[in-house]
Every structure is written in C-alpha cells, then in structure tokens.
Structure 1
Amino acid sequence: MAVSGKKASKQFSSSTTSMASDEDLQIYCQPCDEEGTRLPAHGYCTECREHLCKNCYTAHKVSRLSKHHTLQDATNMPKVLQQPSTSIHTGQSDVLTTPCLKHPQEMIKFYCNDHTKLLCSVCVTLEHQATSCKVDYIPDISGDILDSKQYQDILKTLNHTSDQFQQMVENVKNMTNKSNISLKDALAAIKKFRQEINKRLDVLERQAEDAAKVIEQENNKHLKAVETTCEDITKLLKISSDNIKQLNTSKQANKLFMELKLAEKTIQNVEGKTQHLFSYDIKEHNFRSNDVILNFLKTEKSLGTLTQKAFNTEYQSVQVKSRQTSHAAHAGKICVKTSKAECRCWIIGMTLLTPDLLIITDYLNKAVKMVDTSSQSVSDQLQLKFKPWDITTVTSTELAVTLPHIQIIQFISISSNKLIKKHTVRVARDCYGISYYQGKLIVSLRSPAKLQILDMNGTILTTIDGKNIFKDTCYITCNRHSIYVSDSGMKTVTRLNWQGDVIGRYSGMSDFRGMSMSDDGTVFVCDQDRNVIKEISGDCSTGKVVLQDLKSPHAVCWCGKTKKLYYTCSAGDAKYDHFIHIYKLS
C-alpha cells in the first residue's frame, strides 16, 4: 500500500493497463502526484477527469474555478486511475511546473484574458477575481495549441523580431562606423583650415617684413651718402685750413688774403651741399597690431562648427504585434493664428470631433478654436476669460475644457458651426489633463498629484491618490480597460485600471506631454525634450519613434480614419507655434 507523502514517479497508469503491484492498484490524488507527493484518493472530478485527495476534494468544491464541477465521492468514483485528457497533455514533460514570479512556491496554471497574464492560484485569488476578470485554467484551453495558427504566427513574429534586432545591431554598427569616419574627416578638415589660416598669416607677416626691409635699405642708402659727402668736405676743409696756417706763418699777406676769401666761398658751398643731406626724415618705428584680427581671435570660441546630420536609416525599438507604421509623410500645416490673437499661439490641448474638425485650446490667447482640416483654416473662435489647458470630446456636439486657474471644467457645445459656452463644473483643485469615457470624466490634479473620476454633474466617483505613483500629471487618455497618464515629473506614462491600480508603466522618454489613443489601443505621446513623438503599446511594455527631429512637440491628436497625426509645438517661435503640423502615417 502507498504511504502518505511518499515520492513517486509522475507517470500515470492507464485504465486499460493491468496493475503489477498493490501500490499500482492504489487510487491516488493526481494533482498532488504532479507535485511529487502521492496521497490516497478521496473522490473524483468528472470535468477534470482527476482523482482527488481529501484536501483537494474540499478545495475543489469552494474554488470559484471548479465549484460548479461534478464530484464523485469515494464510493462512486472510478476504481482505476484515469488517463489525463488531451487538454492536460499526454507526456510527463508537459506538467505545469513553472513557478510564479510573485509567488515562487506556486506553479502557473491559469491565464487572465483581460490582463493577458499568466497566473498562479494565489494571483487569481488576490488580484484577478471572477467579478472583474475572465480567467481560464491552462489545461482547459491549451488542447489545440500544438501546431496551431497562433503557434505559427507567434513563431513567425519571434523570428521576425529576432531578425529586426539583428538588423538593428548591423544598422547601428554601420552608422557608428560612418559616424567615426566622418569625425576623422571633420578633424582633417579642421587641420586643413588651420593650415590655410597659417598660410594667410604667413603672407601678412612677409608683407610686413618686406615693408620693413625697404625702409631699412633707404635708411642705409642715405647714411652712405652722408658719410661719403661729409668725408669729402672734411678733407677739403682740412686742406684749406692747412694752407691758411702755412701762409700766416710765412708772412705771405697777399696770398693769405686770397686764401681766406676762397675759404669763405668753400664754407658757403659746403653749407649748400650738405643742407639737403640733413633734410631726409629718419624715423623711429613701432609695431601696432591689427585689432580686427586680434579681437576676432579673442571673441571667437572655435575654428568652426562641427555639424551633425541624422542618418536616414531608422533603428528605433522593435515593437511586437503593434500597429505597423512604416512611413510618415509630411502632409502640410494649418495656421491657427487669428486676428483676435494678442499673444503668440500656444496650443496645448487638442481633440478630434470629426475627421474634418479639430478643436484646440490656445492657452496664452485664452481661446478655444475650431479648425476645419478640409479648408485648413480656423472656422470659429470662442474667447474665454481664463486660460484653458486641456480639452476632450464628450459627444458629437459637446466638449469639456479644463480651466486650472479657477478650478473649473467648462462645457462647450457646437451649434451651426459655432462654439457656445454652456454650464460649468467646479473641481476640488487645479485641474489640467482631462478625458471622457461613457459618462465619466477623468481629470488630473496637482500639488499633490492625483486623479479624480467624476460624473457629468461633477460628483466625485473615485479619487486615485498619486502618492508613490505620480509627480506631475499632465495629460490623460482612456478606453474601456485602462487609463493612461503622462507624467513629466516621473518621466513615465502610467497605465491604471478603473479601480486605480497600476497595471503598466513606460519610462523610455524624458519629458512627456500630450497624448492621443489610436484605434488599436496604442498611445501616441509627445516627448518635448527629445523632440519626438512615440507610439507606446497598450500594455506600456514597448515603444517606438514615429516622428523625430521636431520642435518641442506639445499636443498630439490621431485620426484613425484618415491615418493622419496632428501635433503642435511649444518652441517659443511663431514659425512653429502658430501651426498645427500634419503627417500621414502608413
């Protein structure tokens, strides 16, 4: 007889196979046997086709996944072990033995369809109740998975994704090599430019040296002429002086008289000849530098600019099973500055009413504007007393706008292509981001950061405390399953369920701003610091850049019908901020 707790092989005995020993004839609990412990059977489940020990039999009657199963007691249960059903798999290597990451002592046996997560029994009990989630027992749904279309598709996707990553490595390697080569070329160009500067300076220096040599030669030439003339005159004067002295000694008065008169003439002649020699202007020379060149070298910070140009090849993050956007083509822009504008446009909120009608908030000009995308013009403008932040579509003719500085949500209706102010709803604090879904408004509050879910009368239905979740909530978008919040303080997009539980988070960016949800539940979000717009998967696990090299993108809006992405800028420059920029994605 088998002893309780004895380890045994996990190989099942067929009902058609004869038993070779008393132990083999013992009917034991099959779930416990899978875990490595053999216990006597106390009953049998006809749906699971398994014998159960006393503990498993009791648990089977109360577990929400099996309490409706048909159970047989020890008297009525089959007297031989049953072969597991095909849904439980046929080989011992396929036993569910993968431990749960949250509860390592429990094995993964269930799958939540709503959250697309693998679960253990503890996860099911604590986090995925039947009232909110559709949970299946894996052996019940895995029978047809072998060689199935899902198997083929996922295998194909895995291979494709692996190829993408390998290609990404090659792309990065090639572009890195090109970048390094271009840097070497740039440094060589800097050296060549420096040599050209040196050559020019050498020319200027030689010109100065040549000018100095000319002056030096003139000086020396004049000096030589003076020396020669003065030597000749000195000799002549000495001869005259010697003659006068001799005639005076010899008392030859007549000759002395004539010699003196000749000497007077000589002196006069000498003075006339030497006067021009001393009229030559000899000067002292100093160097005064060219201040233009000197100041240029002092003020300039570099020899030139090391410019950069992005490679055409895109090698962003690979996203599996997301909406494919292989190409983004610029489709124009719409000027939204009107004659009523007193300041630079700052479009920070945007919602799509119809494929041809965008409604935007112009914060600095305190205005809500209606933009006709067909005529590419502002068709109406509603002036407000206070600055609007975000906007959401409530119905085909009604909108809701946040006015954070007066803690109010302003409702606006559309009639005869005109924007008309309707009623208001007061909120507890400054409200910024806003989104609407099935009669509920979700608003983001600051200081401290939190979310509130309101009904259309402003009654608070749910408050989601942002402690340890948010820092600076900016914008919100939502669907049936999830609420997405962009947080410029945490630098994340956080995904929550409608009960306020965090069920996903994406942090692959630096400064999150406006968001818009696409048809398949993925989210477009602006990264103002990196000047890109990213598309993030619905579960916030992956993201990829769809537009790059932008100018401080702030608000974004997606039109699924036309496949157009609209965005606005906060660059502080009218040539960007006064426009809605349009791209066609395919």
Structure 2
Amino acid sequence: MEVPGKKLHEDGPALDAAYCQPCSQDGETLPAEAYCTVCKELLCSTCVNVHKKQKMLKSHTLLDRSCRPTTLKAKSDVQTYTELCDIHPEELIKYFCPSHQTLNCGHCLATDHRACPIDIIADISEAFKDGQEYRDMNQAIALLIKAIKDGAVDVESRMQLINEFSENEVLKIREYRVKVNKYFAERESSLLEIIEQTKMMDISLLDSLKTKFDNMKDCVEVIKTKLEAQERNTAQLFIEAKRTKKQLESLQSAWEDIDKDISIHRYEFKKDLATEALLASCTGLGTVKAMATKDNTLYNKPSSEPDQEQLGLEPDVPVKVTGVQSEASVYPINMKFTTSKSISVISPSDKHDCWLTNVLLLSEDRILLTDNNTTVKFVDLQTNSLVSTVSLPGKPWGMCLLPLDRVAVSVPHNSFQFVNTRGKLSLSNSIKMKDDCRGIGYHNGKLIVSYYRGRVKIMDMNGNVTKRITNYKSGQHVFSKPLYLTVVNDGKTADIIVSDRDMHTITKLDMDLNLLQIFQDPALRGPLGINAVGSQLLICGQQSNNIICLDMSSGQVSQPLGKKEGILRPYHVCSNQQKNRLYVTCNIENFAKLNNTVKSYKAVGHFKSDV
C-alpha cells in the first residue's frame, strides 16, 4: 500500500535524481529543493533548513533546483572522505584548488578561495588515478625504491671494502714492523757478536800471558832460591850467579816481549746517523698516504712525475726535529713587519719581573721561553696565553730542540737540563756542569755549547767533551762573550753559528770547530740570540736595538725591525713561517712592561722557498 507523499524506493538512482536523498533512506519521496556540494546529496526543504541551522553543516554550499546536477552517482559509487583539514580540523578535505595547488575543506573555500575555480576531489579523482601524473609518480617511486635498495647494497659493499682496506694496511704496517724489528735484532746481534769476539780474543790473549807469567815466575823463583842457597859460600855464589846471568837476561827479554803484547782492544758503540735521523723524524716507519676511492677500488691520484720507487731510489727519510721549520724556507731579505702586539707571560709563581733570555718555536702554535724566574714557560699562540711552566735548579739561558719531543736547557753554573715538551712540561735527566754555560745547540747526538768566558765545546749526551776551541792558531782570541749559538743544517752539511756580544761578530764554524767565516757590520752591535731560516739568520742586536737579517751566502744585511718598531735591548728572536710572524723578547732593567711580554710582529708579505 502506498502512503501519500511517500513512495517505495524501487529505482534508487532515478528517484535520487528528483527527490530528497536523505529522506529517501527512510522511504520518503519528498521533492528535492537544493543540492549540497559537500554532502553530494539532493535535499528537501526540511533538510535544507537543517543544513542551515546545524553548526557542522551550515557552512556547506547549497545549490538551488536550477543549478543542481542533472545526474548523480549511485550511493555505492560516492567516494568516502576521511582526511581532515590541517587548517580546520573539524572539516574533511573534499576540494582541490588548481590555482594554488592546495587541498581544501568547505571552510577553506569560503575564506580563501572564493574567486578560484574549484575541483571536487570526488569528480577528478577517477581521472587522476588513470592519468599520466599518477603513472609518473608510481614510476618515480619505483625508481627511488630501487635506488634505495641499490644504495643499501652499495653501503654494505663499501663497509666490507673499508674493513678490507684497514686489515690490509694494518697487516702491511705490522709486517713491515716485524721486518724492521728483525733488521735491528740482526744488527744488535751482529754488534754484540763483534763485542763478544773481541772480548774473547782479549781474554784468550790474557789467559796465555798469564800462563807465561806463571812459568817465568817459577823460573825466577828457582834462580832466587839457588842464589840464596850459596850466599854463605861466596865463591860458589859467584859461580852460580855467572851461570844464571844469561838465563835471567833471557827471562828479562821474554818479559819485555810479553809486556809489548799486553794490549787489549778498546771499542766504543757509535750511533748510526741514519738511525738518529729516523728517531728524529716524524715519519718513522712510514706514512699513510691519502688515496681516493672510485667504483669500490683504490687508485692513486695522477702524477706527472715518477715516484722514487719507480726510479729505483731509496725513499727520502726527512730529518726533522719536532717544531723546526723546513730548511728550504727563506726569509725575504727586505721584508717588513707591522706594529707588534704583546703576549703576557707572567706566572703566579714568579718571584720578580720576567727576564726572557730565549724563545724557541715548538710548532705552529707553541713557543717555549726561558725566564730568570728559574722557569721554562710554555705559551699557546692560538690563545696567546701562558699554559704551563716547569721549575729549574737555576736561572736558564739557552735552549735547543732534541729528538723525541725534548729540549736541552743550559743553566749557568749548574747543569744542562733536559725537558719533556709533549703535553705538560716536565723535567727529564740532567748533566751537572759547574762552568758558566750559555748557548747550546744539538746535532747528531752531540751538544755544542758556548761559555761566558770565550770557549766553545762539543760534547756527547753524557757531558764528555770531544772537541773544544779557545784561540786562533796565531794566538788571537776567537771569542770574548759567545752568549748564543745555533746549528744550521742544510741536509748535507751542518755549521755552527756563534754570536759574540763584546766582539760584535757572527762566527761560522764547521762541526770540527774549524773557523769558516766571521761576519761583522756597523748596523749590528752586541749580537745575542740567533734564529736560522734557511740560509739566512735573524740576529738580535742588543746594543743597536734592532733585529738584523743576514744572508750568509751573500753577506747582505737588512733591518726588518728596529727601535721605531719597539725593539729595545732584544735578547732572542724566532720566526713562525706558517703564520708569517716573528716573536721577540726584550729586557731592560726596571722596565716591567717590556720584560714581562713577548712581542709578536706580523710580516707584510710572505716567507718564500729558495728551492
């Protein structure tokens, strides 16, 4: 039975096109008055009023009867929206704005997109799913997934390769270390064998001589006994004495021959210069060369020159003491410097103002100072601050670098003190010395030392003097007050450079203390500290108030720093070529502002190479 105003829902899509769809779900067939673009449904007048009053629905866009769609999808074909709007969380995303390429809800349309052409996602989604854009996106995703998988496989492969690289190179280093150890063990065994053979030869000789001595002693005792037995009978004593005289002379001659043979071999272990260079080198055993990786293999960076192994040459072993600059570096003879800045080196433990007698560059960012406060001070050039001190048994004067991060310091009338410079400063062993030692240098296991009263000596690391110089052959004095010295090593030869404050000279000696050359110039008065930079010398003129640059090969002299740059009574100077700086210490009685600081001068220009 049909009820007026109601009709059974026999043809869903046809009825939905003319009647209210929400009411049709209850079996009512009320005429549709409007169409909701959000709900995608035809609405009767009652449902329209509900839409306009409900808070959640009143923002929906309603189309009147003349604008409503002529065809509608079946209810089962209508898309279900589940994504909430980011801006309006209470609304679902149902629209797309092609102009702004944004996903929107009904609120977004009403507030930001009133003038924009709007696509209903449900209307365009089917075409998008079958379109080129979605196909391209799926293809890009597939390619990306493949690339990620390939990348993961490549990471695993490279991880394995890294382990192989490491294991191979570690194995090479350890095999080479075994080879080196074996070589030194064999050399040690050979040297010990030589000593043992020499020792046994001397022992064998002395044993044979001892037997001869015993036999001779027995013969002499027999002669003595015979003579003593005849002392009461003088005639018989005379006969016995004459009879044994020739035998006694023969024994005397035999003793003299034996006495000539009583000589043992004196031997001394001398360090190998190549081994000393190895100990002083920072590349001992070898280096790890930087390589580039490509296609999971190793290859060397291309070079236009063959390496030493390809030429059949022995690899270079750089002879380098920690902290010194390259011998190939040169100080430009006419270089100038800017105004200095001062680095304070006052320590809480100082008993009086500083009196800095020496400055030594350890590395690009570290210097050491000797201070009459009986300390050696360590300054960090990155922060320009004093970071460490170590106390000495007296007032230090000179310093020189040694292998294995050590420094030798001369302490006049006391000792040569060895200081460890790795990490925090600490004292090592020392050599007691009563004389007034001043300048100190090092070369191939020897110390070169100058003394206040005009002497220069070479000694071993135990303080045993091997060479000395005091005068010319003509009897003239070589030195009066040689307060500083340095060793210049070009890799082939080494020379000793000595400054003499009273004679105003710079003297060049070879390693046997033979006089090679004397430099003297009116611009340099009272020379003290010396810093060698390649073939050139930076020299402190204490009495001339300047720093002089002397080219030893040409004898050319220039003055990079003088009194107008604040140089007053300079004691020592060192160059930092990496930073293009000079560090100078100056000392004047009762001038605390000057004495308590190190002056740092910036070069105008750059150091260069003479190669």
TM-score tier after normalising by the smaller chain length:
0.3 to 0.5
**What TM-score does the superposition give when structure 2 sets the normalisation length?**
0.41
Q: Provide the TM-score with structure 1 as the length reference.
A: 0.43
Q: Which has the greater radius of gyration?
A: 2
